[in-house]
Amino acid sequence: MNIAPKIYKMRVGFSVAGCPDHKRIMTILREMVLRSGLPFEPAKVNKSWPRLAYGPALGYKQYSLGEVADLYFSAPVKETDAQAALVKSALDGVRVLCVRRVPYALPSVMNLAEVMQYSVQGDFSFYTPANCAEEFFRKQHIYVSVVADSGMSMQRDLKPFILSVTQPQPDKLELLLQKHADKMAKPEHVIAAWLNIPVPAAEEFTLSELKFTREKLYWRDGEGKLHAIW
């Protein structure tokens, strides 16, 4: 009888600063595990790569205080040892905050994350908004204009994605955005809707005077309550 080898799963919380190429976060994590010397479980697509799960991916020029990835190991490793090795091997603005052992059967972060918390900081008056943010986001519909390369535009309603928007201080907004129809809205698009700024359909987009930070990821239980993933 063939017995499948035991696989050990650890959940890593990390922050991202300095706006590394957001499309390289998975590569950065992979390189960190390789540099760490930890006994990784090989990925199915490439046996020389460590198996890991990360997502939803960080957006263009976003910072983060609360990213999460799942790493898989072929041998048991103490949480403290894993954290020390990953801290030492960290690259490109990634800072390891915590490492926890989790049951192998626990859904991956990609499948757990349903709600994302963002902060947006900067001089909003630079864009001369026509309405108070909290008043604007109480509307029944929140439309952003999406413009294609051809010049044609369409209106996308972002209201189903928005759980809450608050403005605790003049230069800061806090957003709570949720999945809808298995999709997510970009916080930059939500703010662009308020500021009446069209967004390109095919290009990466941000607002140069503002800093977008993903602060936390949440999963939602059967009663609709939110729980931080770490």
Q: For domain 8-111, give the CATH number.
A: 3.30.70.580
Average pLDDT over residues 90-112: 93
d(Cα 222, Cα 98) in Å, to the nearest integer?
27
DSSP 51: P
Segment 41-66 shows an average pLDDT of 93
What b/e string do you get for 144-174 counting C-beta neighbours within 10 Å, with b at 16 or more? Answer: bebeeeeeeeeebebeebbeebebeeeeebb
Q: Which amino acid is residue 180, in one-letter code?
A: H
Query: H-type helices in 73-168, by residue range?
Result: 79-89, 109-112, 133-136
Residue 72 has pLDDT above 60, yes or no: yes
Whether the predicted pLDDT of 190 surpasses 90: yes
Token match 């390109």: residue? 200
The residue whose two tokens read 């020389």 is 48
The predicted model gives 8-14 an average pLDDT of 97
Q: What are residue 227's DSSP bridge partners?
A: 219
- For residue 69, the SS3 value is strand
Task: In whole angstroms, give the CA distance from residue 217 to residue 134.
Answer: 22
Find tokens 């044609």 and name the residue.
Answer: 152
Percent of the chain with pLDDT over 70: 97
Cis peptide preceding 56, ω within 30 of 0: yes
Q: Could you tell me the pTM of the whole model? A: 0.92
Two tokens at 150? Answer: 């051809």
CB 226 within 8 A of CB 216: no
pLDDT of residue 39: 98
Alpha helices in 57-172 (DSSP H): 79-89, 109-112, 133-136
| 178 vs 158: CA distance, rounded Å | 10
Is pLDDT above 90 for 215? yes
User: Hey, is 222 helix, strand or coil?
Assistant: coil
Judged against a pLDDT cut of 80, whether residue 212 lies above it is answered with yes
Average pLDDT, the chain: 94
Structural element, H or E, at residue 194: helix 187-195
SS3 readout for 12-71 = EEEEECCCCCHHHHHHHHHHHHHHHCCCECECCCCCCCECEEECCCCCCCCEEEEEEEEE
CA nearest to 79, candidates 97, 99, 52: 99
CA distance 164 to 143: 16
Average pLDDT, integer, range 17-32: 84
Region 1-25 average pLDDT: 81
Check whether 139 has a pLDDT greater than 70: yes
Q: What pLDDT does residue 4 have?
A: 60
For residues 177-198, average pLDDT: 96
* Per-residue model confidence (pLDDT) at position 19: 66
Give 3's pLDDT tier (boundaries 50, 70, 90): low
Q: Is the pLDDT of residue 92 over 90?
A: no
Q: What is the mean pLDDT of residues 26-42?
A: 96
User: Is pLDDT above 60 for 1?
Assistant: no
